[in-house]
């Protein structure tokens, strides 16, 4: 008995030692993981998993160690285990990462089902919304594909080569972790690759190939990472990314992690000097991947600074005439999502190219195009194959004059971890979303199609965009924009007009059908007498005004357009516009306010409808004709007060 107890005690001590050692290893691995030393952390996590240990945290971190290293296909099995065994102990974010991993294996149908689950779980996540509004994304990518031809490039190394940029001196500058004579043997903990330096190669005209790379000279390269450059048009100023390392001192954030910053340098002969840090950098977040506008007045970059939507967002900052900088501006949720938006490139014509895993694509980072309209950018569009594939595709640059460009990818078949690819653009990209709406117009009583019926396309505020007549078969069609609300109105002489509200989605080439059934007569079916309210005869919504305002509201414009149609249909019709206020405010003020509202309504009908001014009269009645109990001193809800802020259209002839 004593012997058995002694053995048990020894066994418990051994097990305790194993568990303690295991916990110690995991603690170190977790610390490595938090410092983005993914490869070091993964070695420990895998050993723990091989011994049969499992937990949601362990599966998450193994999957993430692959995911954030661009090895999405390797992350799939770990995310599958996570979802299968710990689905109730899992953030929705892991559904998104799992879907991305599935795409890297070209398992798109499965990825789409996971994205549907992500949409259900993640609520108003921008990535989920983007997916749901572009369910035909593979069809669109097929339409977009084939517009680039990949060319041979001979400069890639067995390590990592990426972030190409033009220095406007006939050379391509790029980052590489290739080993050279003076190359430090230090490996970066993130992926166990040597640290990056900046190199230059002459561009060979015609085929886009590059000469043997040479390391940039001067103060620009250090023992830490340098990457992603952008140059002024004269080639004498460069903005570039570097680890937080200035004046031979390395800086870290509060967790001890070395982040990324932007720097500026000037060219002196063939050497770079006067390296200075940009003022909007921080110890606590990364700022990286610059791209300078053609006029040198704006600098685009990626950052995870406070206020970002996701893991990294694209920003722009003004470069002032005195050499200073404005306040960085986020490009907004048209461009940025909760995922990674990074490596912006602004072309000479102001077109934005960037990489993202937040917008719907083929997997990993895909390259997107967005057109600039004044200060805003359009909804981005995937540039398609062969630029994009199931792995990470990024740091796209294009010479719009020669149609030659470069990008980087970690796709299969490359020489190193990341490789640079050259291309020639053969066709223009689809960079704007166009859709169609069509339908027919028929008679309610006979069901006969109605030729030469008028169909008008209006903005949702009632402003006319265009009009057309139906053909002999009663059909019409309009080309319309995506993500836009429209009002479509059909009318015919002797018939009551009909209209429908249409709100479009973001899917390219979507076709909507909106048909109309018109009822004979507009006023004849009802007994009309002088003193009747035309709005009630036409079953219009009330014409309301905002509190203390006389401006025509968008919803009011829709109803006023119906009044205009009736007056055009019946040239003998004359109306008296009577405007009313609620009881709040001074009596005399309300009388003046209602008069302004009446005049605003009359002006709209006359000017927008091109109606003879002699057919429209009116005045304001203030609060003298309330339609409910809401007199002075009577407590009423806002909605009740609004009922009194109205306009009536009384038939006088």
Cα–Cα distance, 362 to 368 (Å, whole number): 12
**How is residue 54 written in tokens?**
């499992």
CA angle 51, 57, 58 (to 5 degrees): 25
pLDDT at 282: 96
- What is the tens place of the pLDDT at every residue in 3-26? 333 333 233 333 333 333 445 455
Domain range annotation of the chain: 29-144, 149-425, 434-520, 534-651
Q: What percent of the chain has pLDDT over 70?
A: 89
Average predicted confidence (pLDDT) for the chain: 86
Q: Give me the residue label for tokens 């749901």.
A: 132
Q: CA distances (Å), 183 to each of 76, 172, 177, 224, in order?
A: 35, 21, 9, 11
Contact 587, 546 (CB under 8 A): no
CATH assignment of 434-520?
A: 2.60.40.10
C-alpha–C-alpha distance, residues 580 and 598, integer Å: 8
DSSP secondary structure, 586-598, as one string: -HHHHHHHHHHHH
**527 pLDDT exceeds 70?**
no
Q: What's the pLDDT score for residue 49?
A: 83
pLDDT at 17: 32
pLDDT at 42: 78
For residue 502, count CB atoms less than 10 angstroms from its CB and return exposed for 0-12, middle for 13-18, buried for 19 or more.
middle
Quote the pTM value. Answer: 0.67
Question: Is the model's pLDDT at 370 over the cut of 90?
Answer: yes
Structure-block tokens of residue 257: 């992690």
- Cis ω before 386 (30° cut-off from 0): yes
CA–CA separation, 260 vs 248, rounded Å?
15
Q: Are the C-beta atoms of residues 210 and 154 closer than 8 Å to each other?
A: yes
Q: How many C-beta atoms surround the C-beta of residue 307 within 10 A?
A: 11
Q: What topology does CATH give the domain 149-425?
A: Neuraminidase (2.120.10)
Tokens of 216: 């940039």
Is residue 389 very low, low, confident or very high in pLDDT (cuts 50, 70, 90)?
very high
CATH 3.30.360.10, domain 29-144, yes or no: no
Which pLDDT score, from 0 to 100, does residue 441 have? 96
Query: Which pLDDT does position 40 carry in this prediction?
Result: 65
Q: Which of 35-49, 370-384, 595-609 has the lowest mean pLDDT?
A: 35-49
pLDDT of residue 206: 79
Dihedral sign for Cα atoms in the order 88, 94, 96, 97: negative
Rounded CA gap, 381 and 361, in Å?
A: 9
Gap between the Cα atoms of 419 and 411, Å rounded:
8
Q: Looking at the predicted structure, is the pLDDT value of residue 486 above 70?
A: yes
CATH superfamily of 534-651: OmpA-like domain (3.30.1330.60)
- Looking at per-residue pLDDT, the higher value among 39 and 148 belongs to 148
Highest mean pLDDT of the ranges 28-32, 426-430, 552-556: 426-430
User: Backbone dihedral region of 7: left (phi > 0), alpha (psi from -120 to 50 degrees) or beta?
Assistant: alpha
Q: Long-range CB contacts (< 8 A, 24+ apart) of 404-409?
A: 404/203, 404/208, 406/153, 406/164, 406/172, 406/174, 406/208, 407/164, 407/367, 408/161, 408/162, 408/163, 408/164
Q: Give Cβ neighbours of residue 295 (< 8 Å, ≥ 6 apart).
A: none
Distances (CA, A) of 273 to 165, 242, 261, 578: 19, 15, 17, 75
pLDDT band at 645 (very low <50, low <70, confident <90, very high): confident
- 213: tokens are 């790379």
Q: Could you tell me which of 84, 188, 55 has the C-alpha nearest to residue 45?
A: 55
Residue pLDDT, tens place only, 433-442: 878 999 999 9
């Amino acid at each position: 008995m004593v012997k058995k107890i002694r053995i048990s005690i020894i066994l418990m001590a051994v097990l305790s030692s194993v568990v303690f050692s295991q916990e110690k290893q995991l603690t170190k691995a977790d610390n490595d993981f938090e410092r983005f030393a993914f490869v070091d952390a993964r070695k420990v996590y895998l050993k723990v998993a091989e011994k049969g240990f499992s937990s949601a945290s362990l599966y998450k971190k193994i999957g993430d160690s692959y995911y954030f290293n661009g090895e999405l296909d390797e992350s799939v099995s770990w995310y599958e285990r996570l979802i299968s065994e710990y689905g109730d102990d899992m953030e929705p974010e892991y559904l998104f990462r799992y879907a991305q991993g599935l795409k890297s294996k070209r398992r798109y149908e499965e990825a789409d089902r996971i994205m549907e689950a992500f949409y259900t779980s993640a609520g108003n996540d921008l990535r989920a919304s983007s997916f749901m509004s572009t369910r035909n994304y593979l069809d669109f990518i097929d339409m977009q594909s084939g517009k680039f031809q990949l060319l041979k490039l001979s400069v890639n190394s067995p390590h990592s080569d990426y972030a190409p940029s033009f220095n406007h001196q006939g050379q391509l500058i790029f980052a590489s972790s290739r080993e050279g004579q003076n190359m430090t043997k230090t490996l970066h903990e993130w992926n166990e690759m040597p640290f990056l330096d900046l190199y230059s190669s002459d561009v060979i005209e015609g085929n886009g190939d590059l000469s043997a790379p040479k390391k940039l000279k001067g103060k620009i390269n250090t023992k830490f990472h340098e990457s992603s450059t952008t140059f002024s048009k004269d080639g004498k100023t460069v903005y570039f990314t570097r680890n937080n390392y200035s004046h031979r001192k390395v800086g870290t954030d509060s967790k001890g992690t070395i982040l990324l910053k932007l720097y500026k340098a000037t060219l002196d002969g063939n050497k770079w000097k006067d390296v200075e840090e940009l003022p909007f950098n921080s110890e606590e977040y990364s700022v990286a991947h610059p791209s300078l506008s053609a006029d040198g007045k704006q600098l685009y970059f990626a950052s995870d600074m406070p206020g970002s939507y996701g893991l990294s967002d694209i920003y722009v900052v003004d470069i002032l005439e005195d050499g200073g900088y404005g306040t960085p501006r986020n490009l907004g949720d048209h461009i940025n999502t909760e995922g990674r938006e990074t490596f912006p490139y602004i072309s000479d014509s102001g077109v934005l190219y960037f990489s993202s895993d937040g917008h719907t694509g083929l997997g990993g980072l895909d390259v997107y195009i967005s057109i600039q309209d004044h200060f805003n950018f359009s909804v981005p569009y995937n540039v398609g194959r062969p630029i994009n594939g199931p792995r990470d595709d990024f740091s796209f640059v294009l010479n719009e004059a020669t149609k030659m460009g470069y990008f980087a990818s970690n796709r299969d078949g490359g020489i190193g971890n990341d490789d640079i690819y050259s291309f020639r653009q053969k066709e223009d990209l689809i960079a704007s979303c166009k859709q169609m709406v069509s339908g027919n117009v028929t008679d309610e009583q006979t069901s006969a199609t109605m030729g030469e019926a008028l169909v008008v396309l209006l903005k949702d505020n009632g402003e006319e965009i265009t009009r057309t007549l139906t053909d002999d078969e009663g059909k019409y069609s309009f080309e319309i924009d995506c993500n836009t609300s429209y009002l479509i109105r059909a009318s015919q002489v002797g018939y009551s007009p009909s209209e429908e509200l249409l709100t479009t989605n973001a899917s390219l080439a979507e076709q909507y059908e909106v048909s109309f059934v018109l009822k004979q007569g507009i006023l004849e079916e009802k007994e009309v007498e002088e003193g009747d309210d035309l709005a009630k005869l036409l079953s219009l919504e009330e014409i309301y005004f905002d509190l203390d305002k006389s401006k025509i509201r968008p919803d009011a414009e829709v109803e006023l357009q119906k009044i205009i149609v009736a007056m055009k249909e019946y040239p003998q019709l004359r109306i008296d516009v009577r405007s009313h206020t609620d009881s709040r405010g001074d009596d005399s003020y309300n009388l003046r306010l209602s008069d302004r509202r009446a005049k605003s309504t009359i002006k709209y009908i006359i000017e927008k409808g091109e109606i003879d001014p002699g057919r429209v009269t009116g005045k304001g009645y203030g609060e003298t004709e309330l339609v409910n109990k809401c007199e002075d001193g009577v407590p009423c809800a806002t909605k009740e007060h609004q009922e009194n802020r109205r306009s009536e259209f009384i038939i006088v002839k």
